[in-house]
Amino acid sequence: MATSLGLLLVLTAILAIIYIVQAQDQDQRGFISLDCGLSSNESPYKDSNGLWFYSDEKFTQGGKTGRVRENPKRFAEQYNTLRYFPDGIRNCYNLNVEKGRSYLIRATFVYGNYDGLGMKPVFDLHLGPNLWATIDLQKEENGTGKDMLHIATSNSTQICLVKTGETKPLISSLELRPMGNGTYITKSGSLKRYFRYYLSESSSQIRYASDIYDRVWDPFFLKEWTQLSTATNVDNSNRYRPPEIALKSAATPTNSSAPLTIRWTSENPDENYYYYAHFSETEDLQANETREFNVTWNGIQYYGPFVPSRGNLNTISRTAPVTCNGGICRFELIRTDRSTRPPLLNALEVYTVIQFPQSETDENDVGAIKSITATYALSRINWRGDPCVPRQFRWDGLNCSNTDMSMPPRITTLNLSSSGLTGTIADAVQNLTQLETFVEGNPRLCLSDSCKKPHKKKIIVPIVASVASAAIVIAVLVLLFVLKKGKPAILQGLHLLPRTSSMNATFAEKNRRRFTYSEVIKMTNNFQRILGKGGFGMVYHGSVNGSEQVAVKVLSQSSTQGYKEFKAEVDLLLRVHHANLVSLVGYCYEGDHLALIYEFLPNGDLKKHLSGKGGRSIINWSTRLQMALEAASGLEYLHIGCTPPMVHRDVKTANILLDANLKAKLADFGLSRSFQGGGESQDTAVAGTLGYLDPEYNHSGRLGEKSDVYSFGIVLLEMITNQPVINQTSDNSHITQWVGFKLNAGDIAEIMDPNLHKDYDLNSAWRALELAMSCANPSSSKRPSMSQVIHEIKECLVCAKSGTGKNLEMEPQEVMSSDASMVPMAR
């Protein structure tokens, strides 16, 4: 008896540990699984798929809970409860995400006559400020679900239910799943699931844990097909990771001469589609047998001939959208003449493009306004969702600047009249850097804690910090004077804190790495050996302590740059540390003598190696990709690893230096600028190098990390082609135009650097070229992030080192036009 009880306790403990491990695994993956309307007392629980569901109480404001009345047993557990919203027009869920990451977002809606009224609701579903879908439960007998792949544009995502009539919006479950980096990339917009099939006669759906991303796969099979299956394990470890169980079955035409066809009708003939076809050979073919076929869309061949691998995964996908002529869509696999076996297909995903044109309100403004509402415990029924957009749902008391849908709106007015505010002005107000008008009608609201008496007059304050000092009072009076004169209040970045103008004070905390001018003379042996010359001045070789080699950049008195760039570089390099950024050994600031002392990189810059000047060696293809990866890693660190994040602004091959082992490091940070929250900032003057300069930034003056991405794309094109960035003797003077022109012929050999002597993997070269052109897209919204660039370069490296790479997905392309804004498409 005691033994049995002991065994029972052990088994119970083991099960408890398994549950904890599984729950932690989902948390680590970033899964969010909300059972809407679930009481916190019942949360969490594990569903039949092994997913842990939690109450939605902490993710939304307001709403009431209900429970399905009609046939609740027909629904999965998470659909038996729901939350409905009788009050307000827009009610939202707030989910924390990682900016730039791709997510699967799934929302499910089941009415189930929870209210006993038999009135199925119709309402709109929004992602942030944009319409995602109209939910019409009057047409959906058993409810409906929406499934989308979306790249997060900020660190929080809002899913909103919007009342459009008399019925009350409701939601049953809300799920969010982070996807693998570099997956499901589109030229623009997000992807709405059209279907996701695995080809099998089974009747069971596949999802977590068979699918690590918890995609839902439906079985699909036609009567003219024959099912193939295998018990052999299938390596599914490419970036898409379709479930292995889906790859163990396949469909093939029963008539071995016939194509394998999947067709459907498109309601909108202009609908844009992306497809992802997954293949794995399920049979052991004999030496004299071949399975080879072409992939076509509406009769146009997009890839092939193709031979699927036994026991391995190949994914064929689109990097540009396709449409359906006449509204008839036909995905088809056609056997080649030399093939002895009919085509097969294991799984197919098809998505339509959904555009979200309205940018969310500036992330910093959103954070500031939420902090203000929390400070004053303000709660208004319409203060939910995005503060500024869409206009019809703008929060009461706000005015915003949002004339351009593609630009994040900024809060310009915060009117808290009649709110009865008391105490000090919230510190967060100073983070609303575009604010022109703040508090009116709150006479007991003070500028600082020292305020004791109510003001006798109403005052319009542009923006104030709650710091009691004479400087603040003077600043406020000056700004009020400006406003009374009718001049615009320019408040960008204003802190109203006294700032010293002394250059010495700038470096007061940096003495640890400060050298005297006499020490600079000594370390350079009186400036004996010149390494190079730039806009800043001459660069000399030197040594510190007689052993550590350094490069010393001395500011020329005639330099067109100067103290501003000098200070920017010192400020940045003293606080950042990364293996792919040139490190600062120290600096000299003594009177008119300014110098920067860097680590010495003996192999010079990448530009000279590509040109072969100075006896430099020609770099092979794999090494070029490795250098590109290292430079991209340095840029990624600036964009997402720094606080605040930084834009380099002068990425070019001359600013990529190589150490003794040809390891690449970014250099020259004099033009670098910070930008907040990954968004854009208005710079006073456009800066950069002609040819590498982002045309969108050059035109608008708005700076963001995608400006560096453009410049990196040009660098990558240089590394691929070894062509000049600007060639005035050519009709196609810019390198992107030259590449676009050459791509019309569809022969990559005409594009690749002839010094490589065709010693490169073809698939790797194509992928690198496609990446470079997508980085150099004239539209910043269509460029990848540096994190996505890094992932793609790593894939290129795998191809370069192992041929085509047995598990790498192959991305077919269309014929490229002469428009350099398109990615290259013909192989």
Catalytic residue numbers?
A: 650
Output the 3-class SS for 397-463: CEEEECCCCCCCCEEEEECCCCCCCCEECCHHHHHCCCCCECCCCCCCEECCCCCCCCCCCCCCCCC
- Closest by CA to 581, choosing from 507, 648, 526, is 648
Structure tokens at 236: 């599914």
Question: Other CB atoms closer than 10 Å to residue 546's CB: what's the count?
Answer: 6
Helix (H) or strand (E) holding 563: helix 563-573
Please calculate the CA angle 571-589-546 and round it to the nearest 5 degrees: 95
State the Cα–Cα distance between residues 157 and 132, nearest whole angstrom: 13
Which residue spans within 501-559 are E strands per DSSP? 514-515, 530-533, 537-544, 548-555
**Is 553 assigned to a binding site?**
yes
Helix (H) or strand (E) holding 252: strand 249-253
From the CA atom positions of the chain, what is the Rg in Å? 31
Q: Give me the residue label for tokens 């027009």.
A: 89
List, in sequence order, every residue forming a beta bridge with 749; answer none if it has no partner. Answer: none
Structure tokens at 433: 């850097």
Question: Other CB atoms closer than 10 Å to residue 278's CB: what's the count?
Answer: 27
State the Cα–Cα distance between residues 447 and 424, nearest whole angstrom: 6
DSSP 61: S
List, in sequence order, every residue forming a beta bridge with 54; answer none if it has no partner. Answer: 34
In sequence order, which residues have a C-beta less than 8 Å from that of residue 521 and are 6 or more positions away? Answer: 527
- Give SS3 for 625: helix
- Closest by CA to 782, choosing from 811, 821, 809, is 821
Q: How far apart are the first and last CA of the chain?
A: 73
DSSP 40: G
- Side-chain half-sphere of 133: how many Cα atoms within 13 Å? 20
- Give SS3 for 190: strand
Structure tokens at 172: 């049953």
In sequence order, which residues have a C-beta less than 8 Å from that of residue 86 and are 6 or more positions away? Answer: 64, 168
- Closest by CA to 390, choosing from 168, 602, 204, 126, is 126
Q: What is the dihedral of CA 470, 474, 480, 485, to 10 degrees?
A: 170
Q: Give me the residue label for tokens 């020329």.
A: 556
Which residue spans within 326-422 are E strands per DSSP? 328-335, 347-354, 398-401, 410-414
The β-bridge relationship of strands 45-46 and 423-424 is unpaired
State the Cα–Cα distance between residues 188 and 356, nearest whole angstrom: 9
Alpha helices in 172-250 (DSSP H): 244-247
C-beta of residue 462 within 8 angstroms of C-beta of residue 479: yes
List, in sequence order, every residue forming a beta bridge with 350; answer none if it has no partner. Answer: 195, 275
C-beta of residue 251 within 8 angstroms of C-beta of residue 344: yes
In sequence order, which residues have a C-beta less than 8 Å from that of residue 751 and are 6 or more positions away? Answer: 720, 721, 739, 742, 743, 769
Q: Give me the residue label for tokens 């703040």.
A: 438
What residue type is 784 in one-letter code? P
C-beta of residue 682 within 8 angstroms of C-beta of residue 701: yes
- Closest by CA to 708, choosing from 646, 768, 756, is 646
Instruction: Name the binding residues.
Output: 553
* Binding-site residue positions for ATP: 553
